[in-house]
Structure 1
Amino acid sequence: MMRSRVDRTLTVVIYAVSLFLFAMAWATIDATYAVPSGIRPAIAALAALPLLAIRPNPLLGWAISATAALILPLTCSPIDSAFPWQMVHVVVLLALLVAVTVRCPRAAAAVAWLSTGAVLLVNSPTETGVGFAVGMTVVVLVGLLMRELFGSRRQLATQREISGLERARRAVLEERAQIARDLHDVIAHHMSVVVVQAQSAPYRLTSVTEETKAEFDAIGANVRASLNEIRAVLGVLRSDDESAELRPQPGIARIRELIENSRRAGVDVSFNTFGEPPAVPELGGVVLYRIVQESLANAVRHSPGAPVTVTMEHGSDATMVTVRNAPAAVPGPGGTPAGGSGIAGMRERAAAIGGTVDARRLPEGGFEVHAIIPATISTTPEPHP
């Protein structure tokens, strides 16, 4: 906003100065050229109005001004052959030359400097022309100094911006590393202990039946799978490599594996699927997997022993998944799954790609999660306050 206001102000100033110089050149043309009154506005325009191009295209403005400085003394009748230009014309030409030196490539600046010197010497080969050529060279040198100064400031500003981004990136990496350490200490360690206990239980305990041993094996397998996922997440948190965040995530193809793991853990799960899976983007597949995973975890936690039905219907434009569980068959913690953050997380995941999640308690006492995930991802913008 501030920069656009400054740009508008500079544009107005340039227009005002150009019009003032045009009026001055028109009023004082008799002091330089003996020309009819009808062509005076054109000569004044060639002298002053190229200044309008000093911001959008200084090289074009300089070319028009320099060409006019070459042609006018040859086509008009200068009153003073030692100095055959209006002072307004010379001021505008030098201003445009400085702008070319500061803003245009160095090759263009060199061509403009040599051409301007040649124009001055061709039309005024006396000491006056030589003096103006030397003065013009000094002006060009000042323009080069300004160019280097502005370039140094831009480089310094760029380096400061890069340094700020790097500091912010380091802070994020340090925070992620701290989170990874905390997660490892709090979760991964205890889950590793659970795996060891489940694997060693048949050897530590007497009278362990084959059925009990299979149960321990299933517990160990599920905990190991969870532990592997946690370790993958910890690896992403610890890594400063952006490619680590782009590694493949579980999708639709692994939902059947998730169901089988739940069955091995003793959950009565039935899985029904209809239709051919559409070419859902990877993010959509991850959302479907996480919704089924969280729904199964809620069913086990809040309705232990209850049968669970997972139904997945693939359409041409969307995939619908329904996870429904009956009331608890054995006493458990109970409660409503929506009381935690799991269902809220499912809704957020689905909404982020244009899908929906509906979670509700059934009249007969069970619970149902129904999700619709579109085949084409369309992100939903966050509402503005």
Structure 2
Amino acid sequence: MGIFSRTEKATRFRRLVPPGRGVDVTILAVTAILYSIAWPTLHVTHDVPVPIMPIVSALAVFPFVLVRANPALGWAVSAGSAVVIPVAFDHLPGYDFPWQVTHLLVLLALVLSVSLRCALPVVAVTWVATVLLFLGYAPGNDGIGWGVGLTAIVVFGLLIRWLVLSRRQLAKQEEVSELERARRTILEEKAKIARDLHDVVAHHMSLVVVQAQSAPYRVDDVSPSAAAEFESIGATAREALNEIRGMLGVLRSDGVVAEDAPAPGAGDITTLLENTQRAGVRLSWQILGGADAVSATTGLALYRIVQESLSNASRHAPGSEVRVRLHYAPDVTYLEVINDRAVDSNGAGASDGRSGTGGHGITGMRDRAVGVSGWLDARPRSDGGFEVIARLPGKSETVPRGASALPVTGPAA
């Protein structure tokens, strides 16, 4: 029962004392104990009138309350009272020391706290003033001994202070070293990914470029249309290879993010459409407004959405007609990419192939649109085709999901 009783008392004490306030409560308790000793014993050490004994005792003890919050102020009050009390009140016969023991303990504690927590000039002033105080008031030659003791207290406080500071700096350095190790691990992983991408993708893309460029010279009887087709393949492969090299450079670089790498934008969409059309896709497009109406971030997202939409159309519905409608407005940029149902050689409709493929193209397009505060829908059409509709912000606007449909002005280009 005794163990359970002590446990319950400790639990109640923890509930009464908030976390982090234990030291403050201890300081108040020690101050109360010292005051309960100083007041009743003051008549034994000094000739003080009874009515002002509580005040004199408070001047000697209460500065200890500031030992944590403001030790320099507490020391100033304690040292000031140590100057006044011996002058104002005589000590009684048989007691040679100018202050009560409680006053002395508080003063020494405050000197130690100042050396631990205050600026070095404040520590120097406190040390010199306290040594002079003891040299002036201590009986006989005791002032020299107290001066040596005070110096030892200050030096001890400074050593503890520098030890704590050095440990904190060491902990910070260890934290920085840990972050540096983590950063290097990430860089090594990025470099490995870059090497793998270079070996798997860049090498084969380079072969495609070389083969496309050399085909007219290696193959006999290449018609002009076939030569143009090879040139288109080579141009598209070179463009893809340049983008891959840019991303590989980002992966290999330290402190470079993907946004810092050269990236296509809205102004490159026309070139993308022309290259896609040269590649054999039945493509028509209409662009209204200027590409400068969107920011670089929105332009990159818009380019990637158009690129992925065209790739999906050519991959999943080969032979279908694709229509791109793009309208740059000051507040909102509208995009529609529509492909009709493909028709095979027998005249039957070919599937668009988007259902059940397990790919991530549409999800990636939606993520890009959401990343610039826009939105995107990709869905089958009632006639068997497929459409991608996107609304992306201008340079300073966001796009509500209920934005109006893309205006159509004239025939496709």
Into which bin does the TM-score normalised by the smaller protein fall? 0.7 to 0.9
SS of 2:280's partner is coil
8 A contact 1:82–1:128 mirrored in 2: no
What's the CA shift for 1:79?
3.9
1:260 is the counterpart of 2:268: no
Give the length in aligned residue pairs. Answer: 375
Q: 58, 66, 69: which is aligned to 1:56?
A: 69
| Aligned equivalent of 1:12 | 25
| Matching of residues 282-301 of structure 1 within 5 Å | 282-301=296-315
Looking at structure 1, the residues matched to 293 and 56 of structure 2 have their Cα atoms a distance apart, in angstroms, of 70
Mean CA deviation greater in 7-16 or 112-121: 7-16
| Aligned equivalent of 1:381 | none
Mean CA deviation greater in 249-258 or 159-168: 249-258
The gaps in structure 1 that reach 5 residues or longer are 379-385
Looking at structure 1, the residues matched to 166 and 91 of structure 2 have their Cα atoms a distance apart, in angstroms, of 44
SS of 1:7's partner is coil
SS of 1:339's partner is coil
Looking at structure 1, the residues matched to 217 and 175 of structure 2 have their Cα atoms a distance apart, in angstroms, of 61
**CA 280–117 in structure 1, closer or farther in 2 if over 3 Å, else same:** farther
1:185 is the counterpart of 2:207: no
SS of 1:186's partner is helix
| Aligned equivalent of 1:45 | 58
**CA 123–292 in structure 1, closer or farther in 2 if over 3 Å, else same:** farther
Mean CA deviation greater in 357-366 or 331-340: 331-340
| Aligned equivalent of 1:346 | 365
**CA 39–309 in structure 1, closer or farther in 2 if over 3 Å, else same:** farther
| Matching of residues 121-132 of structure 1 within 5 Å | 121-124=135-138, 126-132=140-146
SS of 1:320's partner is strand
| Matching of residues 70-89 of structure 1 within 5 Å | 70-79=83-92, 82-89=96-103
Q: 329, 354, 367: which is aligned to 1:336?
A: 354
The gaps in structure 2 that reach 5 residues or longer are 1-17, 399-413
Looking at structure 1, the residues matched to 66 and 210 of structure 2 have their Cα atoms a distance apart, in angstroms, of 79
Residue identity over aligned pairs, in percent, reads 49
Looking at structure 1, the residues matched to 293 and 116 of structure 2 have their Cα atoms a distance apart, in angstroms, of 55
What's the CA shift for 1:185?
1.0
| Matching of residues 197-346 of structure 1 within 5 Å | 197-242=211-256, 246-275=260-289, 280-330=294-344, 334-336=352-354, 339-346=358-365
| Aligned equivalent of 2:188 | 174
Mean CA deviation greater in 17-26 or 113-122: 17-26
| Aligned equivalent of 2:14 | none
Mean CA deviation greater in 336-345 or 131-140: 336-345
| TM-score for the superposition, normalised by structure 2 | 0.81
Mean CA deviation greater in 321-330 or 195-204: 321-330
What's the CA shift for 1:253?
2.5
| TM-score for the superposition, normalised by structure 1 | 0.86
**CA 149–256 in structure 1, closer or farther in 2 if over 3 Å, else same:** same
8 A contact 2:326–2:333 mirrored in 1: yes
Cα deviation, 1:163-214, whole Å, max 9, x if unaligned, reads 1111111111111111111111111111111111111111111221111111
What's the CA shift for 1:69?
2.6
| Aligned equivalent of 1:362 | 381
Mean CA deviation greater in 139-148 or 306-315: 306-315
8 A contact 2:233–2:279 mirrored in 1: yes
Q: Over the residues paired in the alignment, what is the CA RMSD in angstroms?
A: 2.9
Looking at structure 2, the residues matched to 157 and 234 of structure 1 have their Cα atoms a distance apart, in angstroms, of 36
